[in-house]
Amino acid sequence: MTIIAASGTVIASAALFIVLSGFAGLKNFSLEFSSFVDPDLKVIPSKGKSFILSENDALAIQSIDGVLGYSKIIEERVVLEFDNKHQIVTLKGVDENFTTVTSIDSMIYYGNWLERGTDQIVSGGGVSRKLSYGTLDLTRHQKIYVPKPGKGQITSVTGAFTSVNAYNVGILDINEELNNEYIFSNIETARYLLNYAEDQVSSLEFKLTEEADQTVVSEALKNALGTKIDVKNRAQLNDALYKMLNTENVAVYLIFTLVIIIALFNVIGALIMMILDKRESIHTLFNLGTTTKDIRRIFFLQGSLMTILAGIIGLSLGFVIVFLQKQFELIMLTPSLAYPVELKIINFIVVILTILVLGVLASKLASQRITKDLVKG
């Protein structure tokens, strides 16, 4: 009975560790793609859609320790037309530093990145599929429209929109949301469409040195640029994704904790059966002067030791399985992609604490079955 109860705890703790490691791998896999296009820090206007970056501001940024480089961005919703088909997309105009701040050019699976001084665009795969265009089709162009600011009645399309003829030179594959939403252009194209001034930008995207402290650099940027801006890190830029992944992580943990609780009912049952089986020995100990409290402590320690040892064995078994998956890719999602797993210290701590707390509670509950009437025989 004891072996069966301990085996259930071993399997439950191993399963909890494997699931937490698997979910950590999936989380890193999901966030890996955002790291290619998201900067370490992003400066956005605290009010409105743009702000002015003066020469003094640029000099102040250059003097901040930890900043490896930054890119000026102009971003706005536009209408993209091709072959009389239209789609509202987000145009992101970037300067020549953008490919050093991010690794977006590595996400192009067909075509090339932008050439400076041209009206070229690079499109997400979803946008190109919806409008049915490819790359470098010089006989047909994409047309980008942006409504002109102003009041009054619209008398002509030409007067209502600023437009530019563009040519798609590359197709990106980042994730479903960005593929269906974004096109990229040179910042000069976006500046012309939105009629922005030379020093007017929608945001600044920063790449930091490896040893830089994001909090310190964020405060330095706020001091340099004043109250007109807010600073967000990569987690804050993807706050919805992080919240979803963290919520799923908690839900998975709670579900498998419930499995452990069910397994520990076997431990409670085993201890109770042991107490009933050892009634004569318990009565003998009582007659020799052992108190009821001491006898309870014996069975409490036995149950706690059993669950803790079973938890350690299960954790070790789970570690071996996760390690083998990480090293030898035993389970594949696709022929070229192994199921992602991640070994993290926090997962070891979570499993040990969970087994320790629940095992102690189960042993305490079972040991309370020992009463004065029982020990007296």
Give yes or no for a contact between 195 and 146, defined as CB atoms under 8 angstroms apart.
Answer: no
For residue 235, what pLDDT band results from cuts at 50, 70 and 90? confident
Q: What integer is the mean pLDDT of 263-267?
A: 88
Per the prediction, the chain carries an average pLDDT of: 91
Return the structure tokens found at 144. Answer: 């980008």
- The answer on 208 and 77 residing in a single domain is yes
Give yes or no for a contact between 182 and 127, defined as CB atoms under 8 angstroms apart.
Answer: yes
pLDDT in tens, 341-374: 999 999 999 999 999 999 999 999 999 988 888 7
How high is the pLDDT of residue 276? 86
Q: Is residue 287's pLDDT more than 80? A: yes
Q: Measure Cα distances from 59 to 62, 152, 203, 238, 322 in Å.
A: 5, 42, 17, 29, 50
Task: Enumerate the H helices of the chain as residue ranges.
Answer: 2-37, 55-62, 98-101, 125-131, 157-160, 176-179, 187-194, 214-225, 234-237, 239-277, 279-287, 292-328, 345-367, 372-375
* CA–CA gap between residue 152 and residue 48 (Å, rounded): 23
For residue 151, what pLDDT band results from cuts at 50, 70 and 90? low
- The answer on 186 and 66 residing in a single domain is yes
How high is the pLDDT of residue 89? 97
Residue 120 domain boundaries = 39-234
Q: Of the candidates 234, 252, 272, which is a domain's last residue? A: 234
- The answer on 27 and 144 residing in a single domain is no
- The answer on 313 and 201 residing in a single domain is no
How high is the pLDDT of residue 65? 95
Determine how many CB atoms are found less than 10 A away from the CB of residue 21.
25
For residue 137, what pLDDT band results from cuts at 50, 70 and 90? confident
- The answer on 130 and 16 residing in a single domain is no
- The answer on 197 and 106 residing in a single domain is yes
pLDDT in tens, 7-29: 999 999 999 999 999 999 988 88
- The answer on 222 and 76 residing in a single domain is yes
Q: How many domains does the chain have?
A: 2
For residue 152, what pLDDT band results from cuts at 50, 70 and 90? low
Q: Is residue 307's pLDDT more than 90? A: yes
Q: What is the pTM of this model?
A: 0.76
- The answer on 217 and 194 residing in a single domain is yes
Q: What integer is the mean pLDDT of 188-199?
A: 96
- The answer on 355 and 284 residing in a single domain is yes
Helix (H) / strand (E) containing 69: strand 67-82
- The answer on 354 and 226 residing in a single domain is no
User: Which of the pair, 82 or 138, is modelled with greater confidence?
Assistant: 82
- The answer on 197 and 261 residing in a single domain is no
- The answer on 280 and 167 residing in a single domain is no
For residue 241, what pLDDT band results from cuts at 50, 70 and 90? confident
pLDDT in tens, 27-68: 888 777 667 789 999 999 999 999 999 999 999 999 999 999
Q: Of the candidates 172, 205, 234, which is a domain's last residue? A: 234
pLDDT in tens, 215-233: 999 999 999 999 999 999 9
Q: Of the candidates 205, 234, 263, which is a domain's last residue? A: 234
